[in-house]
Amino acid sequence: MGLCGKRFFTIDYVCCENRYFLSKILRRYLNTIQRINRYPIELNELKFKLPKTRLKRIGYNDIWLEQFDTFMVTIRLDVLNIINKFSNNIFAVVVDKESIREQTWTSEKLCNYVFATTLERNILNMLDIQEDPILYYDSGRLDQLRENEFNQYLMSKDSFHKFQGLNKSNGNLWNINPILSHMEPCI
């Protein structure tokens, strides 16, 4: 099944006028929960599920991990509330991998297709934008070669949708910025 061996996976989209402000608020929140020992100091990103194997390798024991776990529900809720408060739109897609007809597709190809198609058909069309949007995504899931292919795929899909009249937004999707999630807490 790929993507963690689960039948379903989700892709989330957050649209905001100023991503730097949202990033600043999330970074402050991350620093606060680390300072008061509710979240591991070694993690530079907000995870919904702690990477316990990685944390054990760097010296955390089960007692510490259980203590962090007790705060995770509150942390998740706080993060979602911050994103909700400081973003303009939030979109999510849930994909049932068993419903895909192309059996030859890898999980990565399926994820890329769903990401691009949903972005073009369901999100950019819903946004009233006059300027070119800037897209940020977690580049940690792709190597450099595939990252370039994925960026080209997104731009080609955007051009195709514009040509077909399927994309009603005025902006063009050309400013695509992959970011490593461990460098940016809101990715």
pLDDT in tens, 6-33: 777 777 888 888 888 888 999 999 999 9
Q: Other CB atoms closer than 10 Å to residue 114's CB: what's the count?
A: 18
Q: What is the mean pLDDT of residues 58-76?
A: 94
**14, containing H or E segment:** strand 8-15
**137, containing H or E segment:** strand 134-138
Q: Which tens digits make up the pLDDT trace of 73-116?
A: 999 999 999 999 988 888 888 877 776 656 677 777 777 778 88
CA dihedral in degrees (133, 116, 139, 10; nearest 10)?
Answer: 110
Which has the higher per-residue pLDDT, 150 or 27?
Answer: 27
* Residue 38 predicted with pLDDT over 70: yes
Cβ(50)–Cβ(65) under 8 Å? yes
Cβ(37)–Cβ(43) under 8 Å? no
Cβ(34)–Cβ(76) under 8 Å? no
Q: What is the pTM of this model?
A: 0.72
- Name residues whose C-beta falls within 8 Å of residue 43's C-beta, 6 or more positions apart in sequence: 34, 50, 51, 55, 182
Q: What is the pLDDT of residue 123?
A: 78
**How far apart (Å, rounded) are the C-alpha atoms in residues 174 and 132?**
8
